[in-house]
Copies of this chain bind each other. A is one copy, B any other.
Amino acid sequence: MRLAAIAERLGLGFEGADLDVTGMNTLTEASPSELSFLSDRKHLNDLKTTRAGAVLVGGEFAAEVPESTRALVCGNVPLTMAAATALFAPPPMDADAPAPVTGEGSFVDPRAHVENGAVIGRNATVMAGAYIGSHAVIGDDTVIFPNVTVYRDCKVGSRCRIHAGTTIGSDGFGYAHTAQGEHVKIWQNGNVVIEDDVEIGSNCSIDRAVFNTTFVRRGTKLDNHTHIGHNCDIGEHCIFVAQVGVGGSTTLGRNCVVSGQTAFTDHLDIAPFTTFTARSGVTKSIQESGKVWSGYPLMEHRLWVKLQAKLAKLVKS
């Protein structure tokens, strides 16, 4: 889509040469063909070094936009950014894509729903009632159980097992807010990549990224009712017990153990080999690997045990 057309749709002006915009992205990840935005002044340093072809920016920061980047000045960046994402949202399916391709030795139940553009590897099983979206990829030897939904553009690796009722690639939860208290959708135009040897239990939800990709890395195992927000990156060989929730853009290192009903807020970084006991409430990043954490607010497990002993004494006093 041409930048001039985008600007017109958004009611904005810009200076500089027109540009073919291939998509949107964050300031740090945008390429010269992508449109970015500064919606929070805390990212001002990222603006100064962005490679984005164009940015949505408030007038007060227009002077900070790098020379090679076109500035689209707007009054309300979050709302304009949300409106811009709608311009890049693909339809739920791509009916015009070529017929799906299935590798040798695979069993795709004729009662499964496989969209055009999907690619299924070798020796895979896709059971009745499962949905495989347009341009989705299912790896070799993977089993997709009944009534699983893999949204368009999402990828599941080899030797995975995705259990019934699980959804891969539903929209991440992102909105801009009007002064009247209405919520304007930020369209979720990224995807999900499930790497090899991952098992996901039943009725889990792995949301697609707003831009780029939500990752569940190689060898990780997720129990039932896990919720993974958009743009998370769940490291290799993690173990999630049931009913865990992870807020958007949170990253876990390899071999984390996350016990049942634990929850993470968004934008955290968790060191590898971290363990969380049941129902931990994680609201801060963890730099040091190998530790055990508990409670909400989160504390080291040994402190949590000590706190519970104190509380037990308190209740007896």
Contacts and interface: CB of A to CB of B under 8 A. Distances in A.
Nearest to A95: B107
Nearest to A161: B171
The prevalent SS among residues of A at the interface is loop
Given A113-B129, A219-B183, A221-B173, A227 B243 contact: yes
Contacts of A203: 165, 167, 203-205, 225
A279 B307 CA distance: 19
Contact of A227 (B92, B242, B317): B242
A203 B169 CA distance: 12
Given A245-B242, A245-B261, A310-B315, A149 B171 contact: no
A260 B237 contact: no
A281 interface: yes
Contacts of A129: 113, 129, 131, 147, 149
A153 interface: no
Contacts of A41: none
A105 B93 CA distance: 16
Interface in A118-137: 125, 127-129, 131, 133
A296 interface: yes
A254 B183 CA distance: 12
B164 A237 contact: no
A128 B131 contact: yes
Interface in A219-237: 219, 221, 223-225, 227, 229, 237
Interface of A: 92-93, 109, 111, 113, 115, 125, 127-129, 131, 133, 143, 145-149, 151, 161, 163-167, 170-171, 173, 175, 181-183, 185, 199, 201-205, 207, 219, 221, 223-225, 227, 229, 237, 239, 241-243, 245, 247, 254-255, 260-261, 263, 265, 278-279, 281, 283, 296-297, 299, 303, 306-308, 310-312, 314-315, 317
